[in-house]
Amino acid sequence: RFAGTPMNERQVKLLNRLLEGLEGKLTTRKWAAMAKCSPDTALRDISELVARGVLRRAAPGGRSTHYELEEPVTGDRT
């Protein structure tokens, strides 16, 4: 589903963790700890995936912001 989407190694790891069933909600703080990177790098990784339509923001901004996989859009809307 995301085969044509350019991603770095951390982003591929993030996507795999989400597809395998990440425990709890994905936040930039959680991703920074899992990827062993800075919070700024984690935010960049997630923001790029949001911009590419892989992830979506699931909660309003601020400390409660978390992200989910974007559901695929199907052409069958009846």
CATH number at residue 40: 1.10.10.10
Structure tokens at 46: 């997630």
Residue 1 lies in a domain: no
Q: In total, how many domains does the chain have?
A: 1
The answer to whether residue 17 is domain-embedded is yes
In the prediction, which pLDDT does 72 show?
63
Distance, in Å, from the CA atom of 2 to the CA atom of 14, rounded to the nearest integer, reads 13
Q: For the chain, give the percent of residues with pLDDT over 70.
A: 87
What confidence tens digit (pLDDT) does each residue in 14-71 have?
999 988 988 889 999 999 999 999 999 999 999 999 999 999 998 777 778 999 998 7
User: Are the beta carbons of 42 and 28 closer than 8 angstroms?
Assistant: yes
Q: Is 47 left (phi over 0), alpha (psi -120 to 50) or beta?
A: alpha
